[in-house]
Structure 1
Amino acid sequence: MTAMINKIAISIKAYHVRTGEQRSEMPDGAASLRHRPHGVLAVFGPYNFPGHLPNGHIVPALLAGNTIIFKPSELTPWSGDAVMRLWQQAGLPPGVLNLVQGGRETGQALSALEDLDGLLFTGSANTGYQLHRQLSGQPEKILALEMGGNNPLIIDEVADIDAAVHLTIQSAFVTAGQRCTCARRLFLKSGTQGDAFLARLVAVSQRLTPGTWDDEPQPFIGGLISEQAAQQVVTAWQELEAMGGRTLLAPRLLQAGTSLLTPGIIEMTGVTGLPDEEVFGPLLRVWRYDNFDEAIRMANNTRFGLSCGLVSPEREKFDQLLLEARAGIVNWNKPLTGAASTAPFGGIGASGNHRPSAWYAADYCAWPMASLESDSLTLPATLNPGLDFSDEVVR
């Protein structure tokens, strides 16, 4: 809720900085820049952060002057309804923000509306690709896709193993792994220090027992969005194990009929032919590497490009990663799940279509209008060659 509230002031500032009005004086007038709203925009929200993430589209779209049709995830309809009621209580005029509930069929029908001027989406890469295909051949419609990632975290040399383990857990398992920036792939330097780190990571992760919101003491993580989602993570782990992965910590469903899933860790060093897919839950795959160049190559070996991180005391290695990483978010000694609304948020490749949100959301919510202006009209003192405005009559 705090993030949703803070989004208002940040979006207002971004609106003025990114899409405000500018005027440059010229000898015979002025050049002006203004921005205009697209019109009617659809916003498709995800089930993780079902208030905050669609809010990141809705607020800048409203500031730009658009009207909105908001479809929350079919898994979190109440959150969408609550967001809608809050906007109504705030005095938003009827028809400016409209709520439509439903699943895939509703989304397909909404995105097919002829009068729709654009669609702003946060969700899985598979759904994003479907929307991109559906809107292909319609360049007049703005499409902003914020999708997932197969995000790498590189653990190089560390002085404080527990601090590095804490950062890794915050990157991989916070919110039960249900953040698009969560670490999915861990690259760990070979050697005794890497061995000690991995043993400590498994030991601490083994103590992470998921629970419900009202449990005492409070658990570190809750359940996944559904029992089906939890089972999909278990199935993904089983498939990785069948391909040759070595399980270090097996994910377990604590109770049938629930989505309470313990974290899983599996080493995949030397295993080939792996699918490049996002597993949206608390499952971390581990690879060992010998040198930093190899670590970067392995980290970039994905069709996604959302987030990437490095744990290392060496600034030079982070500078190298900044030059070579294929990701929209690159962190150094910080969890992958940390991001600032005062910066753009988005990725490349299968993680997005070059329409980052957060600070840059204003860009896809309006289009620029350039003008040359003068408050009076006079004949130029010097005319172009061939122009004759004399009073002589041409015979």
Structure 2
Amino acid sequence: MSVSEIISTEPATGAVLWQGAVGNASHEVALARAAWPAWAAQPLAVRIETLRRFANVVRGKLDQFADLIARETGKPLWEARTEVESVINKVDISVTAYSERTAQRRFEGAMGAKSAVRHKPHGVLAVLGPFNFPAHLPNGHIVPALLAGNAVVFKPSEKTPATGAFLVDCFHAAGVPEGVIRLLIGGPDEGRALASEPGIDGLLFTGSARAGMALHRQFAETPNKILALELGGNNPLVVWDTPDIQSAAVIAVQSAYMSAGQRCTAARRLIVKDGAHEALTEEIGRLIDRIIVDHPHADPQPFMGSVIDNATADQVQQSFLDLMMKGGRAIKQMARPDPALPFLSPALIDVTGIANRPDEEIFGPVLQIIRVPDFDAAITEANNTRFGLSASLISGSPDLYDRFWGNVRAGVVNWNRPTNGAPSNAPFGGVGLSGNHRPSAYYAADYCAYPVTSVEADQPRAAIATGLRES
């Protein structure tokens, strides 16, 4: 059922934060289509300078922007600030990436001709943003797309429209023409309408694997349109023969429970050596008992806020209960202090005894322990998923890391670092159900412009040496 207005509420309080009218995909695409040629014709230096002004606009509104993100997502204020800082930093990173990934090249050809490789923008790109990083993740598509000369129609998640509107206002305040980046407010119906618009030349999506697969099917009949998917993960964290149990436990907590587990790179499965795991699980349990779960502006600052809404909290709780019903042994039960609000405590559950463990991304603070007999079994278990986004090994052995890196299937493979430790100046993406081989971050330039090969000569010069009769 379609709605005429989107209302955003603060997860931590239930208070109404923002409301706005639902937009029309066709209208927004038409405006972007009309504005695109003039933007694409601008020199690259002009687009770079405009986007650097955007970074300065966001920098001047950092506190206001962070407060809005924290209120709309429920994440702690300190974490919202790091998100805004990532939005600012994305511009310079993208300028460097564009220069490196889409550099103009010229070389000599035959008979005095020259060859050249340059890049062109696609045209109008749709961007569908997620709720967990409602500024940083869509911005990671938008900035490279604008830099390459595309126009953008951005539909934020219906759960975080205020952040999306604030982000677009910052682009306009910096001098990006209003037609070049358009905001489409709406829910799933508007997202589907935007993806179906004949006037877009591609779609850049960050979200769930289920939605990504639906988009992949939809775009199967339009190979002329670029589709870049950054999806979820059922990410493994392997802890093996490490003498520093305390650090391993801290990395496990950071991997699993940062952002209330609402990161696509969050550790979902903790794989450990059977019989040598008790000290680690006990230390993780002690850390869980110390974790502060509270509203974004609480003092002392919380490690975790709420999940995005009550429906999500219900779903995460049900997934945890399902694991218990299947034979999982809860080490730390999931609690929900107030049924009217989506605050969840971190959960730790041993699922080794579940014969057919569900290969699903539980998008919340749930870490599943799987005990295995040896390191080969650990790698096998790490790969026992349809996903392939992130994986990490905690071990003091370089040889084990070499084996792990060489055999694990993931687009982000870390050593003695959290699963969610992915730098912005490197490619970001996965294999399997975690994406469609269009890594984002530093490699976003690859899907925001297409290469054009030219053979060029100052004057026409041609001859046919074979196959003609005598004149």
TM-score by length of 2: 0.80
More off after superposition, 201-210 vs 330-339? 201-210
Q: Render the CA deviation track for 1:304-338: whole Å, top value 9, x for unaligned.
A: 00000000011111111111111000000001111
SS of match in other structure, 1:262: coil
Q: Measure how far apart 1:387 and its partner are.
A: 4.9
Q: Counterpart in 1 of 2:346?
A: 263
Matched ranges for 1:235-254 at <5 A:
235-254=318-337
AA partner of residue 202 (structure 1): G
Give the match for residue 242 of structure 2: 158
Distance 2:460 2:223 in 1: 37
Displacement of 1:386 in angstroms is: 3.9
Aligned pair partner of 2:270 in 172, 179, 186: 186
> Secondary structure of 2:91's partner?
helix
The partner residue of 1:126 within 210, 219, 225 is: 210
Structure 1 contact 209–262 (Cα < 8 Å) conserved: no
1:207-231 CA-to-partner distances (Å, cap 9, x unmatched) read: 2231011111111111111121112
Query: What residue number does 2:114 align with?
Result: 30
- Correspondence for 1:273 among 330, 337, 356: 356
97, 101, 107: which is aligned to 2:191?
Answer: 107
- The equivalences for 1:9-158 within 5 A come to 9-27=92-110, 28-158=112-242
1:341 is paired with a residue whose SS is coil
Cα displacement (A) at 1:377 = 2.9
Report how far residue 75 of structure 1 moved. 0.1
Query: Using the alignment, how far apart are the partners of 1:72 and 1:259 within structure 2?
Result: 21
**Partner AA of 1:178 in structure 2:** Q
Give the aligned residue type for 2:405: L
Q: In the alignment, what sits opposite 1:216?
A: 299
Alignment partner for residue 384 of structure 1, among 465, 468, 471?
Answer: 465
SS in 1 for 2:236: strand
Matched letter for residue 131 of structure 2: Y
- CA distance in 2: counterparts of 1:296 and 1:98, whole angstroms: 45
Match status 1:326 vs 2:413: no
Question: What SS does structure 2 have at the residue aligned with 1:173?
Answer: helix
Q: Does 1:6 align with 2:93?
A: no
Asked if residue 362 in structure 1 is aligned to residue 445 in structure 2, the reply is: yes
Q: Is the 8 A contact 1:156 1:312 kept in 2?
A: yes
Aligned partner of 1:141: which letter? K
Q: Secondary structure at the match of 2:221?
A: coil
> Which residue in the other structure is 2:64 paired with?
none
Deviation at 1:25, TM superposition (A): 2.1
Which residue number corresponds to residue 200 of structure 1? 283
Which residue is 2:51 aligned to? none
Which of these residues, 339, 344, 357, is aligned with residue 422 of structure 2? 339
> How many Å apart are 1:158 and its aligned residue?
1.2
Asked if residue 374 in structure 1 is aligned to residue 432 in structure 2, the reply is no
CA distance in 1, matches of 2:190, 2:242: 49
Contact 1:22–1:32 (CA under 8 A) maintained in structure 2: yes
Question: Which of 239, 252, 256 is the aligned partner of 1:168?
Answer: 252
TM-score, reference length from structure 1: 0.96
Given that 1:70 and 1:100 are in contact with CA atoms closer than 8 Å, whether structure 2 keeps it comes out as yes
Report the CA distance between 1:190 and its aligned residue: 2.0
Please report how far the alpha carbon of residue 206 of structure 1 lies from its aligned counterpart in structure 2 after TM superposition.
2.2
Shift of 1:79: 0.2
Larger Rg: 1
Pairs aligned (count) = 387
Q: Give 5+ residue unaligned stretches, structure 2.
A: 1-83
Find the residue that maps to 1:136 and give its secondary structure: helix
Aligned position for 2:317: 234
TM-superposition CA deviations, 1:287-310 (whole Å, max 9, x none): 111111100000001000000000
What 5-or-longer segments of structure 1 have no aligned partner? Answer: none
Q: Once the 2 structures are TM-superposed, how far is the Cα of residue 68 of structure 1 from its aligned partner?
A: 0.6
**Could you tell me whether the CA contact under 8 Å between 2:351 and 2:357 is conserved in 1?**
no
Cα pair 2:350 2:370 within 8 Å, conserved: yes
Structure that is richer in helix per residue? 2
Determine the C-alpha separation between the residues in 2 that align with 1:52 and 1:317: 34
Which of the numbers 422, 431, 442 marks the counterpart of 1:348?
431
CA contact (8 A) 1:247 1:267 kept: yes
Which position in structure 2 is the counterpart of 1:293?
A: 376
**Alignment partners' CA distance in 1, 2:459 and 2:432:** 50
- Matches of 1:229 and 1:286, distance apart in 2: 22
Alpha-carbon separation, structure 1, partners of 2:107 and 2:88: 35
Percent identity of paired positions between Structure 1 and Structure 2:
48
> In terms of mean alpha carbon deviation, does 75-84 or 200-209 score higher?
200-209
Please name the residue that 2:52 is paired with.
Answer: none
Q: Contact between 1:151 and 1:182, CA under 8 Å: does it hold in 2?
A: yes
